Amino acid sequence: METRTEESEVKKLRNLIDEVNIAMLVTKHEDHLHSRPMATSDVDDEGNIWFFTNEFSGKIDQLEKDPHVLVSYANPANNTYVSVRGIASLITDKSKLQELYTPVLKAWFPEGLDDPKLALLKVTTEQAEYWDGSSNKMVTFFNILKAVVTGEKYDGGNHGKINLD
């Protein structure tokens, strides 16, 4: 029963992300926060988020020092906002690259799968929330927590109204 709930939560997360695709990935660097838009490659069955990335880009250095990240998706057109908190890791496993690779990536990695800079950034989801403003003024929220993976407990008491308070 618990597994079923988790499946439906991951499905909901996937549907919300599919609507937007482009995430803002927020990383920490000393005191500062940085963000940049990233095209989402996949949301896996455990609710983790995958992006193709350049193994040698500046943000990888930041992530090695501090892997705590936040991934947010905003869809102003239908007033839906998703916020995912997780731990980032760099994945260079060839079979995983192959699994998620699509030819559109050639725009950034001309050599495709053979590009030595091609890598994946995996965000292992610790907590995911969303605000759905289309239903009732953005006060609805859900907490999608990977209890099975992280061992954390759902805590729905941390949030009330979300938007203006």
Closer residue to its own copies, CB minimum distance, 33 or 148: 33
**How many residues in total does the chain contain?**
165
Shortest Cβ 97–its own copies spacing (Å): 14
Shortest Cβ 90–its own copies spacing (Å): 13
128: left (phi over 0), alpha (psi -120 to 50) or beta: beta
Q: Is the four-CA dihedral 120, 56, 62, 38 of positive or negative sign?
A: negative
Closer residue to its own copies, CB minimum distance, 2 or 165: 165
Shortest Cβ 104–its own copies spacing (Å): 10
* Distance of alpha carbon 71 from alpha carbon 58, whole angstroms: 17
CA atoms within 13 A on the CB side of 120: 23
Closer residue to its own copies, CB minimum distance, 9 or 53: 53
- Residue carrying the six token digits 């500046």: 58
* Distance of alpha carbon 104 from alpha carbon 119, whole angstroms: 15
Shortest Cβ 7–its own copies spacing (Å): 25
Closer residue to its own copies, CB minimum distance, 7 or 152: 152
Site residues (CB under 8 A) for its own copies? 20-22, 24, 26, 28, 31-39, 51-54, 57-58, 66, 68-70, 72-77, 79, 81, 83, 85, 105, 107-109, 117, 131, 133, 137-138, 158, 161-165
* Distance of alpha carbon 59 from alpha carbon 55, whole angstroms: 9
